[in-house]
Structure 1
């Protein structure tokens, strides 16, 4: 291992220990710094510090660090030329809309403190594919980065859906959503959600098949779908649902909107509009 890789490995080991031992007071996150500019860092590292670490206390790990990932999966490292384009789009379409609607401190306090980038997808034994995952609201891993092209709108939306999904988990794990959300479609949750097609999910009152996995997944799938698809895309989905399915989805939508306003003082529909404009601009 050369000096640069030793530096990075040690750096993220320290970051991991810091995450594990940090207090629960979110205000303390404002003073946490995970990366320091060093004469041995490259242009990508310096870009990450300038755009993520200095303003938002977020570290981005793109070099191969085995302990950051599952050891029983076959994974491919990320191509370095993909790092800045991917993270530029993430900043434009996730961070900046939230900053515009909720302020910079909101992101400093609530954003995950580390992104880990992986070139390939991660496959499960049941045949499903993992596109992203979060750990305790502190680390988000993004897969399939090597296929990124900003003009491939469906693929970009899929990646952004993952990011907004995982961030929504962080929000509700910090401040719980109302319990009555779980009572809207209690009998519809199933461990075999992947056997559900879109149309059946909509008719049952679920915005995606994966929303059937649990009430938590249902809640964050509503958030991520409404933000990434925008008003028109979301309404197009509802137009394909049965009358009963549409009514159930409207109930869930109302709880999501109220949760954002009452818990985070965020106008969800305005956030939806801002996010939609950002996605259009970033994928030209």
Structure 2
């Protein structure tokens, strides 16, 4: 399973003290039936059928099903009013740019066949949270959906960061990226979250998590280049020490070459389409 993680450090510690329940509070959830087969399809289900199941054969599960998720985590169901805005955003800012650039069969052939939406984050023991997971290129789980708002560009980019990251895994697991990419940066480590973003940038890693392995480095580059656009990515590169900037440009060149050679996609054109979609959402 591939996981996209976010370092939250002391924020996690602080967050545990923000809410509490009194002894007198009782929440009656006895009337809620979480058995998947007991639900009657409604307007949200019909919308998903028309926009994801029929055109792309992508199932979107938003009703809470414990069998789809890790059993050792405390998780919250997604709010139903968040489902369509989230999936509209995914369609407009992820599917449409790829479909326009690569053709109608590209997403149909390579997209994960199931999205699972979870309302809350998935908290880890090492001070990080999991924002998304991908299983065998067939299923993507998205967390923290209850915080999503279309009008907040930061939240849109965060969610798209996860999706582009996981989809890039599907791409390189189908056709491998150029092997020289693995040798550009040094300092890969399983303890990536113990180091600062500044140190990651100094070694040519676009995020802290990119330090965890060459595969994660490659997909983080793709995701950041797409959600930040050319201007945003150039700003990140320019913020790195001078000796690290050529490392980013080498990686950028190999990403562009990979998309052209493996998928016949003009990456810079895809980058522009993605950024335009985000800005006009």
TM class by smaller structure: 0.7 to 0.9
Structure 2, unaligned runs of 5 or more: 1-31
User: Is 2:254 the counterpart of 1:262?
Assistant: no
**2:149 maps to what in 1?**
149
Structure 1, unaligned runs of 5 or more: 9-39
Cα displacement (A) at 1:4: 8.5
User: Is 2:197 the counterpart of 1:166?
Assistant: no
**1:117 maps to what in 2?**
117
More helix by share: 1
Structure 1 length-normalised TM: 0.86
Larger relative contact order (Cα-Cα within 8 Å, sequence gap ≥ 6):
2
Change (3 A) 1:3 1:121: closer
| Contact 2:35 2:65 (8 Å CA) reproduced | no
Cα displacement (A) at 1:198: 1.8
Cα displacement (A) at 1:195: 1.8
**2:207 maps to what in 1?**
208
CA RMSD of aligned residues (A): 1.4
**1:243 maps to what in 2?**
242
Residues 2-58 of structure 1, C-alpha deviations (whole Å, 9 max, x = no match): 7983166xxxxxxxxxxxxxxxxxxxxxxxxxxxxxxx4211111001111111110
Structure 2 length-normalised TM: 0.86
**1:22 maps to what in 2?**
none
Trace 1:17-36 onto structure 2 (pairs within 5 A): none
Deviating runs (4+, > 3 A) in structure 1? 1-5
**2:47 maps to what in 1?**
47
**2:75 maps to what in 1?**
75
* Alignment coverage as a number of residue pairs: 250
**1:225 maps to what in 2?**
224
Cα displacement (A) at 1:152: 1.3
| Contact 1:199 1:240 (8 Å CA) reproduced | no
**2:181 maps to what in 1?**
181
CA distance in 2, matches of 1:6, 1:236: 50
CA distance in 2, matches of 1:201, 1:270: 28
SS in structure 2 of the partner of residue 244 of structure 1? coil
Residues 149-177 of structure 1, C-alpha deviations (whole Å, 9 max, x = no match): 11111121111100000000010011111
CA distance in 2, matches of 1:7, 1:272: 43
Please, which moves more after superposition, 237-246 or 89-98?
A: 237-246
